[in-house]
Structure 1
Amino acid sequence: MGRIHANGFFTIEVARGATLTIEGDITLKSGTLIGVRKNASLRIGEGCFFNRNCTIVCRDAICIGADCLFGESVKIYDHDHRLAGGKVSKSDYTLGSVEIGEGCWLANDVNVLKGSVLPANSVVAAKGVVNRPLEHAGIYAGIPVAYKKALPN
């Protein structure tokens, strides 16, 4: 398990039967919340940086590669509340793992939702919403995100 370098307060909740693996040193800024629910698995790679007010809630599986940068208020969820009979369930969820490759940069207010896969070295512009596997590394923006251009050399 790695070390957490913190600046301000943060919260980490790991439920019974859940697994949180921090593979090296990471940085958490003030207001960050990491929640790993019962029987879920969260892995965070070496050198990741989480700016203020980031939230990760894991009910299934989330894997974050090394050296990723997360801007302020990035949210990562591997689940949705289940809808049935015209109602939203408070305690039943649909699940879908999330994978974020090494060296990704998610700018401020990005949301990464269940079933998302970000290839290594991808960039998601501010306020983007990732809701599916992205085909290849590049710069993405929008709601939902769309490919904009290749990464500069």
Structure 2
Amino acid sequence: MAQPTEFEKMRRGELFDAFAPEIVAARQRCKEACTRFNNAGDVPRRRQVELWRDIIEDKTPLPPPADDPAKDDALFDKDPWIEGPIWIQYGSNVKLGEGVYINFNCTISDNCLVTIGARTLIGPNVSMYSACHPLDPAVRNGIQGPEFGKEIHIGEDCWIGGSVVILPGVKIGKGCTIGAGSVVTKDIPAFHVAVGNPARPIKKIETSMTE
């Protein structure tokens, strides 16, 4: 039976070598894709979507262009809207739902899967860290030691305030609001407002939505 690659181990949340050639190459590919996105300037919506899909390695073909620019933009109404600059480590482990909005200066460390549900709004300067290191410094061993990760999942219809930090392994339920500057260290149940460091639910949101 073939041994798993370092990339496969990384995606599964197992210990892996973050400086193996294939891992370094994956980070470099994504860094270059982010740079192209961030430096694109004022481009049509079609080009913005194309550059974003390059970051996350989404090979879905773009629809044929419409003759009218407004109609062409409308073809991408359900695609995520990303404000640059944005910095992502690998890209292929980021999955966004329809109509997600990410404001500027977002950082996503996506060793493991990071998902953001449809219609969720991400404020400026938000950071999502799926990467972990061993606590034992003898095992951690700087850049010579192993790394691992834990998945992050943000539900549909959430509002993540500015400068929020979301740590490895966290699940934020549907319809949540996370107050600006909060550090989310544990799961937040659906339809709650959570604030603070560490973030704690302080209020149940009354809504006609259901889980």
Q: Flag whether TM exceeds 0.5 (same fold).
A: yes
SS at match of 2:135: strand
- State how far apart, in whole Å, the 2-side matches of 1:99 and 1:30 are: 22
Structure 1 unmatched ranges of 5 or more:
none
Q: Which has the higher strand share?
A: 1
- State how far apart, in whole Å, the 1-side matches of 2:165 and 2:100 are: 17
Matched, 1:63 2:132: no
Matched, 1:127 2:184: no
Match of 1:41 among 68, 72, 93: 93
Structure 2 unmatched ranges of 5 or more:
1-45, 61-77
Match of 1:75 among 124, 127, 130: 127
- State how far apart, in whole Å, the 2-side matches of 1:51 and 1:97 are: 22
Identity of aligned residues (%): 24
User: RMSD between aligned alpha carbons?
Assistant: 2.8
Matched, 1:140 2:194: yes
Distance 1:33 1:147, change over 3 A: same
- State how far apart, in whole Å, the 2-side matches of 1:47 and 1:41 are: 18
Match of 1:104 among 146, 155, 158: 158
TM-score normalized by the length of structure 1 = 0.78
Deviations 1:77-130 (Å, cap 9, x if unpaired)? 112233333666336323111110001100000011111000011000001111
> What displacement does 1:4 show?
7.2
Tell me if structure 1 keeps the 8 A contact 2:188–2:194: no
SS at match of 2:134: strand
